[in-house]
Every structure is written in structure tokens, then in C-alpha cells.
Chains A and B, each alone.
Chain A
Amino acid sequence: ETGVTQTPRHLVMGMTNKKSLKCEQHLGHNAMYWYKQSAKKPLELMFVYSLEERVENNSVPSRFSPECPNSSHLFLHLHTLQPEDSALYLCASSRRDRGSDTQYFGPGTRLTVL
């Protein structure tokens, strides 16, 4: 276990549903990330929350909405998704003020959009 947990592990939803993915880190880190992993493609950074600042990839559609209530919890709210949004969604965390940015990943949520 890496100290980063994600729920649910699997999610099937219709295009009109609203759901949320949850991530929690137990490592004392101060930055959290959402990545999208599609088959045979590099990991795609979606959002970063670092020291209460949010950074986002401008190519991420607005149907994905992150929320970071504190340094240990991160959510990804999903609404009106498309079938091409089906992928593995990975959460990661890191300690950004120690000169290295090694990110530790959770197990991911496998999302299928019907």
C-alpha cells in the first residue's frame, strides 16, 4: 500500500449521471493530483492542488470538477460524461517543499461511461 486510497475502485455510469471520485492520502503530503490514464497513452495530468493553489490542464473538459477541502482529501466530481471519458483515474500526492516531487499513486478508479 502506498498510503493513497481511492474509492470507488470501479464505477459504471450513464452519460446523464452525476458521481464523485474520492481520494485520501495518509502520507502528510501537501500536494494532490488527478491523472487520467487511457489505454496505450501517457498519463495525462488533469488537476493539481498544491499549498492551497489549484493548477489545471486547460484541455480538461468542464464536466470534470475537482474539489480539495483539505490537504488529505481530493474529489473529482463527474457530470454528463461522454463514452470517451472511460479510463483509469489516478490520484497521487507528493511533498512539494522537500526538493523532490516524487508522487505516490493510489490504485485508481476504473470508470466506464455507457
Chain B
Amino acid sequence: GESVGLHLPTLSVQEGDNSIINCAYSNSASDYFIWYKQESGKGPQFIIDIRSNMDKRQGQRVTVLLNKTVKHLSLQIAATQPGDSAVYFCAENRGSARQLTFGSGTQLTVLP
């Protein structure tokens, strides 16, 4: 079946370093992708999104890259801070269905 998945379930980085969280998707019809951050005890929080007609989008300290050739999405966090520790999900929107399909998440831990 088609799915959204994450390459690594956990990622540990030193404070101040850059983080890269990866996501693979298999549905070439998906036209919209979102990254969410979920801190312990809270609901998922929107971080950044990107449409399939783009390959890069930047926000504040975050960049999302989309490679449609290999169906790969990544989230880059610059100068990672302790407050960035959370689970990060990617989600895809499969066109006419207009419903999001979520990956299982990557736990990011920022080390002092």
C-alpha cells in the first residue's frame, strides 16, 4: 500500500548543530506536504508546508526540501535548540481526497 514513512525513529543532535529529519512518501499524486512538531503532552503543531511545484521553502530556522524524483522530503533545523526536542511528523495530502496521511514520527533529542 501507499504510505508516508520516516527513515529514523530517533535522532540526537548537539545543541547548536543543524538537524535533518527525513521522510519518504510513495504516492506521486500527493501535491502538498506538511511538517508538524509534537511536544510531550501537546497536540501536533504546524511548522512549515510545501507544495509539489516547489523544491525548497524556508521559514524561521527551518527549511523543507522536496525531491519529487525520489519521493523524499526533509526538514532542516538550523542551530538546534533544547526547545526543538520533540517528535516530528511529515504528512502528505493526496490531491482530490484532501485528507492528510501522517508518518509515524521521528523523536528529536537535543543534547546539551
Contact = CB atoms under 8 A, between A and B. Distances in A.
Interface in A39-90: 40-43, 45, 48, 50, 55, 90
A40 B49 contact: no
B59 to A, nearest CB: 13
A106 B43 contact: yes
Interface string A1-29: 01010100000000000000000000000
Contacts of A55: 99
B76 interface: no
B46 A104 contact: yes
Given A42-B102, A42-B103, A100 B32 contact: yes
Nearest to A106: B43
B93 interface: yes
Interface residues of A, number: 23
Given A40-B104, A41-B104, A45-B99, A101 B44 contact: no
A105 B89 CA distance: 13
Contacts of A42: 4, 89, 101-105
Interface residues of B, number: 21
A103 B100 contact: yes
Contacts of A96: 98
Contact of A102 (B49, B89, B104): B49
A101 B98 contact: yes
B34 to A, nearest CB: 6
B61 interface: no
Contact of B93 (A41, A48, A101, A105): A101
A90 B38 CA distance: 12
Interface string B78-112: 00000000000100010000111111110000000
A107 B46 contact: no
Nearest to B98: A101
Interface of A: 2, 4, 6, 40-43, 45, 48, 50, 55, 90, 92, 96, 100-108
Interface of B: 4, 32, 34, 36, 41-46, 49, 89, 93, 98-105
The 3 A-B pairs of least Cβ separation, nearest first, read A105-B43, A43-B102, A42-B102
